[in-house]
C-alpha cells in the first residue's frame, strides 16, 4: 500500500470505530444516538457532541504530525473570523487564555498612552460570573470595578456604569454574555464611545447569539465594520432588516473571546480564541502575548515574514539581532495544537445546527416548566420584558415582549437558568442535590457572586485596593448565588432526556 492508501484505510477504520463507540456523543436528534434509559443513563448538563467527522479529522491531522499550530489552525482562524465578521481570530489553548491574551494586548506600550491600560487603571466588570473573566485584569495590575447583575438576564446592570466611571482611571469594560444571553451591547457601546474606552466581550458562553439595534443608532456608535458587512447581504449572521442591524455577539466591541472546552458551543477539547474586531494592529499585540512576548509575527515553521529578519534594531539590542528572538512584551505561550484545530473545523460546520438545538432545548424546558412560576423565576433574554407561549403543547414559536430601546437579542443558550423563588419549600441546593441523585446534570451560575469567593475575600485582606466595589452591596449577584441553578441546553440532549428532566422537576416540586 502507498502512504496515501494507508492513510485512507486508517481513516476509514477510524470512522468505523467511532461509529461503534461514540453513539452517546452524537447530536440529540441523530437517530443513531445511544438510547436513553431514565434514571439509569445520565443526562449531562453539557458535553462533547461529535460524529465520526471529528474523530477522522483528529486522526488525520495527527498522522500528518504537524503538531504545533499550523495549516488547520490557520484555516480555523480564518473560518471563525469570517463567521463572526471580525478582522482576525487567533487560536489559544483555552477561554481563560483568550481572556488573558485579550486583556494583555491592551497593556502594550505600542498603544497611544491614553489608550494603554496601566497598573492601577480601572476596568469595569460584573460581580457574578466566571472567575477568569476578571482574573486577567488583576493579573495585569489593573483594578476590576464591579457592577451588580440583573438576576433576570444574568448580565450586568448597565444603568450602574456611570457610577463606576472615574475620569482618567477607567480604561475598559470587560464582561461576559452570561450563559448565552447577550449583555446590553447598546448601553455598553454608548458608554465606551462616550468615554473612549475599550470593550472586551467575553463571548465564551455565547457563540451564535445575535444582538440587534436600530441602524441609525449603529451609525452613531460608529459600527461601520458591521454595517459594511451587512450591506453585502452575504453574511449568514450580519444583516440589516426592517431598520435593524443584527450581528453576532463577539463582533461589536474591540476584542472578544471564545472557549472551546467541551461544554461550550463548539469544542476542540481544550481551546479558545481571541477575536480582533476592528483595529488590526491589536492582532500583532495579542499574538505577541500569546507567543512568548516576541516582536516577530512569523507563523510556526516560517521565517523572515517581515523580510528584514536581520535588519531590526530594537531596545538596546545590537542592530541586526535576530528578530525571531526579540521580545517586546512579557508574554506567555498559549497556543493549542493543530489536531485540535482540525477537530474545531469539523465542529464549525455543525455550529448552525448546534445553535438551533440549543434554542430548541431551551424552549422545550421553558414550556415544560412554564406552570411552575410559583416556585421558579425563569431567565429572560436581555431587552425582553416577558415570555409567552400560545400553548405549552403547541409547536408555534413562543414570543417575547420587548423594552422600549428598540434593541433585540436572540440567545444561543449555554444553559437554562431558573431561580428558586423566596418562600419556596426547597432551596436551589436541595433541587441540585435531588437532580444529581436522579442523574440529571445541573450547575450553579459558575462562581456566583465572585466577591464572596475565597480568592476575593483573601485579596481584599491582602491588597484592599486590588479591586473596587463602588456599589457596596451586590443583591443581584447574591440572588444568583443563593437561588440560581442551570440545566443543560447542549445539542447532545435527546427529546427523551428533556422529558425526563421536566418530569423529574415537576415531581420534585409536587412532593412538598
Ligand atoms: C464566561 C466564561 N469565560 C471564560 C471561561 C473560561 O474558558 P476555559 O474553560 O476554556 O478556560 C468560561 C468557562 O466556562 C466562561 O464561562
Write the pLDDT tens digit of every residue in 190-214. 999 999 999 999 999 999 999 999 9
- Residue 206 Cα to ligand 1 midpoint, Å, equals 11
At residue 393, the pLDDT reads 59
Residue 226: C-alpha distances to residues 4, 9, 231, 350, 461 (Å): 44, 45, 9, 24, 45
**pLDDT for 254-297, tens place per residue?**
999 999 999 999 999 999 999 999 999 999 999 999 999 999 99
Give the binding-site residues of ligand 1, using a 6 Å CB cut-off.
Answer: 94-96, 99, 130, 132-133, 176, 202, 204-205, 259, 261, 272, 446
- Tell which atom from ligand 1 comes closest to the C-alpha of 260: 10
**pLDDT for 425-435, tens place per residue?**
999 999 999 99
CB 488 within 8 A of CB 45: yes
CB 205 within 8 A of CB 178: yes
Query: Which of 425, 426, 453, 440 shows the shortest CA–CA distance to 486?
Result: 440
- Tell which atom from ligand 1 comes closest to the C-alpha of 446: 16
Name residues whose C-beta falls within 8 Å of residue 263's C-beta, 6 or more positions apart in sequence. 45, 46, 47, 414, 490
At residue 398, the pLDDT reads 86
- Residue 95 Cα to ligand 1 midpoint, Å, equals 5
Pocket test for ligand 1, best of 91, 95, 205 (most atoms within 8 A of CB): 95
Pocket test for ligand 1, best of 97, 156, 204 (most atoms within 8 A of CB): 204
Nearest CA owner, ligand 1 atom 7? 95
pLDDT at 318 over 80: yes
Compute the average pLDDT of residues 36-50.
96
- Tell which atom from ligand 1 comes closest to the C-alpha of 129: 1
pLDDT at 395 over 70: no
At residue 394, the pLDDT reads 61
User: pLDDT band at 81, cuts 50/70/90?
Assistant: very high
Q: At which residue does the C-alpha cell 444571553 appear?
A: 181
Using the 8-state DSSP alphabet, how is residue 409 labeled?
E
Pocket test for ligand 1, best of 96, 129, 450 (most atoms within 8 A of CB): 96
Compute the average pLDDT of residues 54-62.
98
Mean pLDDT of the chain: 97
At residue 299, the pLDDT reads 83
- Residue 241 Cα to ligand 1 midpoint, Å, equals 32
- Tell which atom from ligand 1 comes closest to the C-alpha of 99: 4
At residue 40, the pLDDT reads 94
CB 280 within 8 A of CB 50: no
At residue 397, the pLDDT reads 79
- Residue 336 Cα to ligand 1 midpoint, Å, equals 16
- Tell which atom from ligand 1 comes closest to the C-alpha of 97: 11
- Residue 512 Cα to ligand 1 midpoint, Å, equals 36
Give strand ranges (E) for 98-217.
122-126, 143-147, 170-176, 198-202, 210-214
Give strand ranges (E) for 301-414.
376-378, 384-388, 399-402, 408-410
pLDDT at 5 over 70: yes
At residue 146, the pLDDT reads 98
Q: Which cell numbers in the block locate residue 345?
A: 473545523
Q: How many angstroms separate the CA atoms of 72 and 17, rounded? A: 23
Which residues are tagged catalytic?
264
pLDDT at 392 over 60: no
pTM of this structure? 0.97
Q: Which cell numbers in the block locate residue 189?
A: 457601546
- Residue 323 Cα to ligand 1 midpoint, Å, equals 34
Percent of the residues in the chain that have a pLDDT greater than 70, as a whole number:
99
At residue 396, the pLDDT reads 76
- Residue 375 Cα to ligand 1 midpoint, Å, equals 30
Q: Which cell numbers in the block locate residue 335?
A: 497556543
- Residue 491 Cα to ligand 1 midpoint, Å, equals 19
Q: At which residue does the C-alpha cell 425526563 appear?
A: 500
How many residues are recorded in the chain?
512
Compute the average pLDDT of residues 151-158.
98
At residue 389, the pLDDT reads 84
- Residue 248 Cα to ligand 1 midpoint, Å, equals 18
**pLDDT for 396-455, tens place per residue?**
778 999 999 999 999 999 999 999 999 999 999 999 999 999 999 999 999 999 999 999
pLDDT at 66 over 80: yes
- Tell which atom from ligand 1 comes closest to the C-alpha of 270: 10
Amino acid at each position: 500500500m502507498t502512504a496515501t492508501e494507508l492513510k485512507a484505510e486508517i481513516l476509514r477504520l477510524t470512522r468505523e470505530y467511532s461509529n461503534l463507540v461514540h453513539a452517546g456523543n452524537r447530536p440529540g436528534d441523530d437517530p443513531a444516538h445511544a438510547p436513553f434509559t431514565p434514571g439509569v443513563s445520565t443526562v449531562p448538563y453539557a458535553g462533547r457532541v461529535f460524529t465520526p467527522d471529528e474523530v477522522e479529522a483528529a486522526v488525520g491531522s495527527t498522522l500528518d504530525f504537524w503538531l504545533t499550530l499550523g495549516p488547520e489552525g490557520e484555516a480555523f482562524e480564518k473560518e471563525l473570523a469570517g463567521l463572526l465578521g471580525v478582522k482576525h481570530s487567533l487560536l489559544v489553548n483555552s477561554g481563560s487564555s483568550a481572556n488573558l491574551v485579550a486583556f494583555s494586548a491592551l497593556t502594550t506600550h505600542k498603544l497611544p498612552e491614553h489608550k494603554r491600560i496601566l497598573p492601577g487603571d480601572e476596568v469595569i466588570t460584573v460581580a457574578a460570573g466566571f472567575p477568569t473573566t476578571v482574573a486577567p485584569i488583576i493579573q495585569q495590575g489593573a483594578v476590576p470595578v464591579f457592577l451588580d447583575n440583573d438576576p433576570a438576564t444574568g448580565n450586568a446592570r448597565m444603568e450602574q456604569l456611570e457610577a463606576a466611571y472615574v475620569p482618567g482611571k477607567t480604561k475598559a469594560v470587560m464582561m461576559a454574555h452570561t450563559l448565552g444571553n447577550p449583555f446590553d451591547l447598546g448601553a455598553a457601546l454608548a458608554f465606551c464611545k462616550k468615554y473612549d474606552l475599550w470593550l472586551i466581550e467575553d463571548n465564551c458562553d455565547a457563540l451564535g447569539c445575535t444582538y440587534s439595534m436600530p441602524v441609525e443608532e449603529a451609525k452613531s456608535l460608529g459600527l461601520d465594520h458591521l454595517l459594511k458587512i451587512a450591506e453585502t447581504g452575504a453574511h449568514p449572521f450580519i444583516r440589516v432588516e426592517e431598520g435593524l442591524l443584527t450581528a453576532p455577539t463577539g463582533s461589536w466591541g474591540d476584542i472578544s473571546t471564545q472557549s472551546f472546552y467541551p461544554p461550550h458551543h463548539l469544542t476542540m477539547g481544550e481551546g479558545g480564541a481571541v477575536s480582533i474586531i476592528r483595529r488590526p494592529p491589536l492582532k500583532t499585540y495579542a499574538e505577541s502575548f500569546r507567543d512568548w512576548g516576541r516582536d516577530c509575527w512569523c507563523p510556526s515553521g516560517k521565517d523572515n515574514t517581515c523580510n528584514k529578519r536581520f535588519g531590526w534594531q530594537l531596545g538596546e539590542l545590537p542592530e541586526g539581532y535576530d528578530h525571531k528572538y526579540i521580545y517586546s512584551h512579557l508574554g506567555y505561550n498559549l497556543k493549542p495544537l493543530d489536531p485540535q484545530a482540525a477537530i474545531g473545523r469539523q465542529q464549525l460546520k455543525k455550529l448552525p445546527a448546534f445553535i438551533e438545538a440549543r434554542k430548541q432545548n431551551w424552549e422545550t424546558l421553558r414550556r415544560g416548566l412554564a406552570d411552575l412560576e410559583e416556585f421558579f423565576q425563569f431567565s429572560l433574554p436581555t431587552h425582553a420584558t416577558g415570555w409567552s407561549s400560545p400553548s405549552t403543547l403547541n409547536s408555534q414559536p413562543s414570543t417575547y415582549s420587548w423594552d422600549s430601546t428598540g434593541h433585540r437579542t436572540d440567545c444561543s443558550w449555554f444553559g437554562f437558568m431558573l431561580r428558586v423563588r423566596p418562600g419556596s419549600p426547597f432551596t436551589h441546593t436541595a433541587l441540585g442535590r435531588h437532580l444529581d441523585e436522579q442523574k440529571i446534570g445541573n450547575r450553579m451560575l459558575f462562581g456566583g457572586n465572585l466577591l464572596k469567593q475565597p480568592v476575593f475575600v483573601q485579596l481584599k485582606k491582602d491588597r484592599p485596593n486590588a479591586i473596587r466595589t463602588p456599589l457596596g452591596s451586590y443583591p443581584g449577584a447574591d440572588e444568583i448565588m443563593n437561588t440560581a441553578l442551570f440545566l443543560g441546553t447542549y445539542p447532545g440532549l435527546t427529546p427523551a432526556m428533556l422529558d425526563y428532566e421536566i418530569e423529574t422537576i415537576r415531581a420534585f416540586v409536587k412532593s412538598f
